[in-house]
Chain A
Amino acid sequence: EDKVVQSPLSLVVHEGDTVTLNCSYEVTNFRSLLWYKQEKKAPTFLFMLTSSGIEKKSGRLSSILDKKELSSILNITATQTGDSAIYLCAGNNYGQNFVFGPGTRLSVLP
């Protein structure tokens, strides 16, 4: 059965800290891995990763995929209180299915 695991499930840091969120996947016919940020309501898209070893960056956020280890990390540098959210990781396969992890709840304290 396909599954996605995230760690830690919950994380509390102070502004300015750097955090690394982990995602590991077991997805049959894997195509891509996606990261989302969910604040109060619907998730918003952050990154889609299809190739191993190529870092994607957006401001203070970056992510990379390791297909050999079946994993991905999401880094946030110089965290701000606005980064507080649930970060969801999802594996996508060629069978039109997205498998979501449980999410990491990040709290950034001032």
Chain B
Amino acid sequence: DGGITQSPKYLFRKEGQNVTLSCEQNLNHDAMYWYRQDPGQGLRLIYYSQIVNDFQKGDIAEGYSVSREKKESFPLTVTSAQKNPTAFYLCASSIGSTSGARISTDTQYFGPGTRLTVL
């Protein structure tokens, strides 16, 4: 079945540690995204990638890093510089076709999420 997967489902981190959240999709989508959701709040964009080997900062990129070495994979590293990392992290993908200088996107499909807790 086509879809988008995230692992692990739950992650516990000690202060000062870096952790990496996995996101994989087999939908052949060009664009991938990472969001953070805090209790009672909407989704906030951390990073997004329109194409392999390219990614852009979102609204709250500080303390996070990403890579996009393969089309299917967009891992997110939460570094020790992120002051308040406890949250629910969602990965998403969309077709993201390009047309000249304008990039249009389709519906986003979300993974099941990773809940990160800092101890």
Please give the residue numbers on chain A whose beta carbons come within 8 Å of chain B beta carbons, in ascending order: 4, 6, 31, 34, 41-45, 48, 88, 90, 92, 94-103, 105
For residue B108, CB closer than 8 A to chain A, the reply is yes
- Asked if B96 and A88 sit within 8 Å, CB to CB, the answer is no
- Asked if A100 and B42 sit within 8 Å, CB to CB, the answer is yes
For residue B64, CB closer than 8 A to chain A, the reply is no
- Asked if A95 and B103 sit within 8 Å, CB to CB, the answer is yes
Among B33, B48, B102, point to the contact of A94 (Cβ < 8 A). B102
- Which residues of B sit under 8 angstroms from A34, Cβ to Cβ? 107-108
- Asked if B44 and A100 sit within 8 Å, CB to CB, the answer is yes
A94 and B105 alpha carbons, distance in the complex (Å): 7
For residue B85, CB closer than 8 A to chain A, the reply is no
- Which residues of A sit under 8 angstroms from B42, Cβ to Cβ? 4, 6, 88, 100-103
- Which residues of A sit under 8 angstroms from B102, Cβ to Cβ? 94
16 CB contacts below 8 A, A to B, read A31-B104, A41-B88, A41-B113, A42-B90, A42-B113, A45-B107, A90-B43, A94-B104, A96-B31, A96-B50, A96-B56, A98-B33, A98-B45, A100-B42, A102-B41, A103-B42
Q: With A98-B105, A98-B108 given, can you name 11 additional A-B contacts, CB distance below 8 Å?
A: A6-B42, A42-B90, A42-B113, A45-B107, A45-B108, A48-B106, A88-B42, A96-B31, A102-B40, A102-B42, A103-B41
For residue B111, CB closer than 8 A to chain A, the reply is yes
For chain B, give the interface size range.
Answer: 20 to 34
Q: How far is the CB of B98 from chain A (nearest CB, A)?
A: 9
With A88-B42, A88-B43, A98-B45 as contacts: A42 and B104 at CB distance below 8 Å: no
Among A44, A90, A96, A105, point to the contact of B103 (Cβ < 8 A). A96
Q: How far is the CB of A28 from chain B (nearest CB, A)?
A: 13
Q: How far is the CB of B14 from chain A (nearest CB, A)?
A: 25
- B101: nearest residue on chain A (CB-CB)? A94
Interface residues of B in 75-95 (CB under 8 A from A): 88, 90
- Asked if A96 and B43 sit within 8 Å, CB to CB, the answer is no
Q: How far is the CB of A81 from chain B (nearest CB, A)?
A: 21
- Asked if B105 and A42 sit within 8 Å, CB to CB, the answer is no
- Which residues of B sit under 8 angstroms from A99, Cβ to Cβ? 45
